[in-house]
Amino acid sequence: MANINLAIIFYSMGGTNYQLSKWAKESAEEAGAEVKILKVEELAPESAIQENEVWKATVDATKDVPVVTSDDVEWADALIFSTPTRFGVMSSQMKQFLDTQGGLWANGKTINKVVSAMTSAQNPHGGQEATILSLYTSMMHWGAIIAAPGYTDPVLFGAGGNPYGTSVSVDQDGKMIEDVEGAVKHQAKRTVEVAEWVKKGSNNI
């Protein structure tokens, strides 16, 4: 495969989207990509984090993960976003990051990035599809190329069959209900593959 630079950008309060991102990284590296796993900056007050044991544990578990910058977006041929659902849209932390990329966008640096997205929620119909679509709306403004998984592999059906991107339900104990590891890994591999096609094609123009 061509040397594809992939940035996996996540926000995680309970650890779910961090785990999805780690699975994606593993698969993308197996597919030959150079991968960075990155978190968006936390916006919530420290007092709120300290009051929630799960949130505090996730912050501690991800303390060594670099915070994503515009330079990482420019470096990447492809991006996978992973964000929890917040009232049917992406988290404010993820939105804040996207909103600060106006300089890259204005200089044409987001054009033809290959992108895909994943999400989680407490309920199967708790806004998972709408969250991914909200992120893809921003990507259309970027001029990016969306690499949705569709129904390109049977593994997707066992994970709930979301054609827009892998989504998972999380119970009250923070455990994933559906088995989505295979779907995440397929989505990551597909994103790298599509990015390879785009990169090869643009190099031949």
* pLDDT (mean) for 103-125: 95
User: Is a pLDDT exceeding 80 seen at residue 92?
Assistant: yes
Nearest to residue 11, comparing CAs of 56, 50, 43? 43
DSSP string, 102-149: HHHHHTTTTTT-EEEEEEEESSTTSSHHHHHHHHHHHHHHHT-EE---
Residue 201: predicted pLDDT: 87
pLDDT value at 191 more than 80: yes
* Strand ranges, E, within the chain: 5-10, 34-39, 78-86, 89-90, 114-121, 145-146, 167-169
pLDDT greater than 60 at residue 32: yes
The answer, yes or no, to whether residue 119 has pLDDT greater than 60, is yes
pLDDT at residue 2 greater than cutoff 90: no
Q: In percent, how much of the chain has pLDDT > 90?
A: 82
Q: How many domains does the chain have?
A: 1
Give the pLDDT score at 125.
86
How is residue 164 annotated by DSSP? S
Rounded distance between C-alpha atoms, residue 110 and residue 69, angstroms: 13
pLDDT at residue 202 above 80? no
Note whether 78 and 24 are within 8 A (CB): no
Asked whether residue 138 carries a pLDDT value surpassing 90, the answer given is: yes
Per-residue confidence (pLDDT) for residue 205, from 0 to 100: 57
Give me the pLDDT at residue 93, please. 96
More confident residue, 19 or 126: 19
Q: What is the mean pLDDT of the chain?
A: 94
Cα dihedral 79→41→16→80 (10° resolution): 0
Check pLDDT > 60 for residue 109.
yes
pLDDT computed for residue 126 by the predictor: 87
CATH of the domain at 137: 3.40.50.360
Rounded to a whole number of angstroms, the CA Rg of the chain reads 16
Q: 170, 121 in Cβ contact below 8 A?
A: yes
Q: What is the pLDDT of residue 7?
A: 98
Distance CA 75, CA 157 (A): 33
Question: What domain range is 89 assigned to?
Answer: 5-203
Q: Over the stretch 155-185, which tens digit does the pLDDT of each residue have? A: 999 899 999 999 999 998 888 999 999 999 9
